[in-house]
Structure 1
Amino acid sequence: MNSSVIEDRPNLKEPSVGDKILSQFKSNGALWAFFLLLLINILITPNFLQIQTLYVNLTQVATVAIVAIGMTLVIASGGIDLSVGALMALAGTIAPMIFLSDFGMSYPVLGLFVAIVVAISAAGVAGLFNGFLISKYNIQPIIATLILFISGRGIAQVLTNGELQTFDNPSFEFIGTGRVFGVPVQALITIVLALSIAWFMRRSIYGRFLLAVGGNEKAAELAGVPATKVKLMAYMVCGLLAGIAGLITTAINSASDANQTGQLMELDAISAAIVGGVLLTGGKAPILGAVLGAAIIQLVGYTLLANGVHDAVAMVAKAVIIIVAVYMQQVRGAK
């Protein structure tokens, strides 16, 4: 073989161990951060490995994870949803109104079923309304969802006259406080939803359509993708998931509080989705990553509070996490 040919070949340098570790961190940063947080807590946080501590963290992360899954779908479509907290309050208000009504008291089982279905459906319809404004009238997502961000909670407050609705309904409260083989029911609901939606996104045509619309909507439409229907479904599912989270929160508190339920949830959900790896520019929908992001956000807050750090610092820490996550996205995008 001609030696000059060999000499002309590019000099391929084998990546060093440090480069490999850095590459793995960039591609799996959320997972590494989660394990690092676990290790830190094991070393410095008192009683972290106790079952009760695990139970507390699972119950506090479940609702954020559920809403973050819906937010991930919306962001993957190229949008955003600021109304999820208000939709939680709306669903959490409607359900007790039904099972505490004369109909609900006369037919407890049927009344509870109707209450749950109607409450979740109402949140889904509200999400559909968001999607309709965005896909049909081309209203910017942040403006369109701001409408229900304001009016959704207002409707819930009108329905209850701004008063707390307390109740004693063990069957309903089970979804928020019950356990199955020691595992919180709300955690099981979260796992089932996350795995089901992740499977659906990976296996269905809709999943490919959603990523295509989020990546380049005009190109997707030219390729025959029904972008309007894709967006409508994303916002509807986000609303449905917010409704489920609202029912869980209401069940935990044994009361419907239109003023407080879902407060700032939109920020936590967006944070979890970003930390979980969703691209703010759309085109990527890491469903399980959203759950992992919610767990990281929860662990950061728990770690600081359990070690005597003020809650305000925890809020700053969340902001730092988001900045780092966005920076990592830009680094990967640049490459």
Structure 2
Amino acid sequence: MADASIARPAAPARTSDGLGQLLARHGALVGLVLLVLFNLAFTPNFVSWQTLNVNLTQVAAIVIVAVGMTLVIATGGIDLSVGSLMAISGALAPLILLGQILPMPHPLLAVALAFVLPVLVAGAFGWFNGFLITRYRIQPIVATLVLFIAGRGIAQVVTNGNLQVFRNPEFQVIGLGRLFGIPVQVILMLILVAGAAWMLRRTLFGRQILAVGGNEQAARLAGIPVASVKRRVYLISGLCAGLAGLVVIAINSASDANLIGLGMELDAIAAVAVGGTLLAGGRASITGTLLGALIIQLVRYTLLANGVPDSAALVAKAGLIVLAVWLQQGRKST
């Protein structure tokens, strides 16, 4: 009887089920291809280096933040503070460059510290988020809401609410520089995506992240240091936000604590959701997050290029998130 049951041919899958599984697993890639095909057919001057450059440079900061957000969501958490941490990082760097914190004996030392210290400070705040969540059992949405509110206030206090204008070519290479014609920020984005994807798939820490998000209690019983894993992913999220803050101010040659990173937490979460990472945790795709961010950016570009108001992009973004969640439900049921 056992042999007969093994030999029995499986019932043919319905075409609709196969299509649903395809969309659930590769929906981001399919969506991106369809958007590109639409623009090739209907958007003037879509095939140009300028168009590619505009879309990649505008999406780079979102992807950098979304990489850290992907790891946080993979553990079953959320990080609402990333926009405010961008503001803190972006507020500190000009103060260092202009010597308003400490006088610097050499300009290159100021540039080096402006690259390193703001990112480390943002990472420390990210670790603080993880500490609140693991030490005091505070829900991630509540714990990160603290810095979502207070973080931007900290940035405004540090700068006295003033716009900080600076010009430093050595520092601004992170936002305006090019290597072999490719924007440096895009290169940083791709390196970060590749490194995070490798870490998630090939390292013990990556497997621990997915285990914690899949079943925290089982992970704890299996000997995984759950608290340590969560603190590290929030630390990484903070570091990513700090780096993105530097990219943004380098592009603008100015830092405004009121505007840097404003709404970035929503863009990052949207990119993660559209990219196929389960919002409940336990399954994640860094490359999917990259595709999700590209889709969101390309939808906005497509609407603007075809004469649709920018406000419609917000509605389209909301629709994409709803579609992504619906596809995730189908994926969990397969």
TM-score, normalising length from structure 2?
Answer: 0.95
Does the aligned pair in 1 maintain the 2:25–2:276 contact within 8 Å? no
Q: Which residue of 1 aligns with 2:315?
A: 316
Q: Does 1:174 align with 2:169?
A: no
Indicate the larger mover: 267-276 or 15-24.
15-24
In structure 2, the partner of 1:71 is 69
1:32 partner amino acid: V
Q: How does 1:236-275 map to 2 (within 5 A)?
A: 236-275=235-274
The match for 2:195 is 196
Asked if structure 2 preserves the Cα contact closer than 8 Å seen for 1:86 and 1:152, the reply is yes
The amino acid across from 1:179 in the alignment is R
Quote the Cα distance in structure 2 between the aligned partners of 1:58 and 1:148: 29
Quote the residue 2:224 is aligned against. Answer: 225
Is 1:194–1:287's contact at 8 Å kept on the other side of the alignment? yes
Task: Give 2:240's aligned amino acid.
Answer: L
* Contact 1:66–1:291 (8 Å) recurs in 2: no
Q: Which of residues 88, 91, 106 in structure 1 aligns to 2:89?
A: 91
Greater mean deviation of Cα atoms: 110-119 or 266-275: 110-119
Calculate the TM-score normalised by the size of structure 1. Answer: 0.95
Q: Could you report, residue by residue, the CA deviation over 1:108-133 in whole angstroms, capped at 9, with x for unpaired residues? A: 11111111110000000000000000
Q: 2:31 is matched with which residue?
A: 33
Who is 2:135 aligned against? 136
Could you say if the C-alpha distance between residues 11 and 197 of structure 1 is closer, same or farther in structure 2, counting changes exceeding 3 Å? closer
Deviations 1:120-170 (A, max 9, x none): 000000000000000111001111001100111101101111111001101
What does residue 163 of structure 1 align with? 162
Q: Measure how far apart 1:179 and its partner are.
A: 1.2
- Secondary structure at 2:199 match in 1: helix
CA distance in 2, matches of 1:83, 1:13: 49
Q: Measure how far apart 1:45 and its partner are.
A: 1.0
Q: Does 1:118 align with 2:121?
A: no
In structure 1, what is the Cα distance between the partners aligned to 2:271 and 2:290?
7
Alignment match, 2:153: 154
Measure how far apart 1:10 and its partner are.
5.1
Relative to 1, partners in 2 of residues 1:163 and 1:7: Cα closer, same or farther, differing over 3 Å?
A: closer
Quote the Cα distance in structure 1 between the aligned partners of 2:14 and 2:141. Answer: 44
SS of the residue corresponding to residue 94 of structure 1 reads: helix
- The CA RMSD measured in Å over matched residues stands at 1.8
Q: Report the counterpart of residue 297 of structure 2 in structure 1.
A: 298
Q: For 1:247 and 1:8, how far apart are their aligned partners in 2?
A: 59
Paired AA for residue 249 in structure 1: V
Mapped to 1, the partners of 2:48 and 2:193 lie a distance apart of 26
Per the TM alignment, residue 334 of structure 1 is displaced from its structure 2 partner at its CA by 2.0
Residue 205 of structure 1 is matched in structure 2 by: 204
Closer, same or farther in 2 for the Cα pair 1:213/1:150, shift >3 Å?
Answer: same
- Taking the aligned partners of 1:282 and 1:19, their CA distance within structure 2 comes to 24
C-alpha change, 1:169 and 1:221, in structure 2 (3 Å) is same
The DSSP-based 3-state class of the residue aligned with 1:28 is: helix
Distance (Å, rounded) in 1 between the aligned partners of 2:12 and 2:215: 36
Give, in angstroms, the shift of residue 81 of structure 1.
Answer: 0.4
2: CA distance, partners of 1:12 / 1:159 = 66
For the residue of structure 2 that corresponds to 1:138, the secondary structure is coil
CA distance, structure 1, for counterparts of residue 198 and residue 183 of structure 2: 23
1:209–1:134 Cα change, 3 Å: same
Q: Distance in 2 between the 1:151 and 1:204 partners?
A: 35
In structure 2, distance between residues paired with 1:217 and 1:7: 36
**Aligned equivalent of 1:186:** 185
> Aligned partners of 1:234 and 1:160: how far apart in 2?
29
5 Å-filtered alignment, 1:274-293, equals: 274-293=273-292
Percent of matched pairs sharing the same residue: 55
Amino acid corresponding to residue 130 of structure 1 in structure 2: N
User: How far, CA to CA, are the matches of 2:103 and 2:43 in structure 1?
Assistant: 46
In the TM superposition, what whole-angstrom CA distance separates every residue of 1:210-262 from its partner, at most 9, and x where no partner exists?
A: 11111111111011000000000000000000000000001000001100000
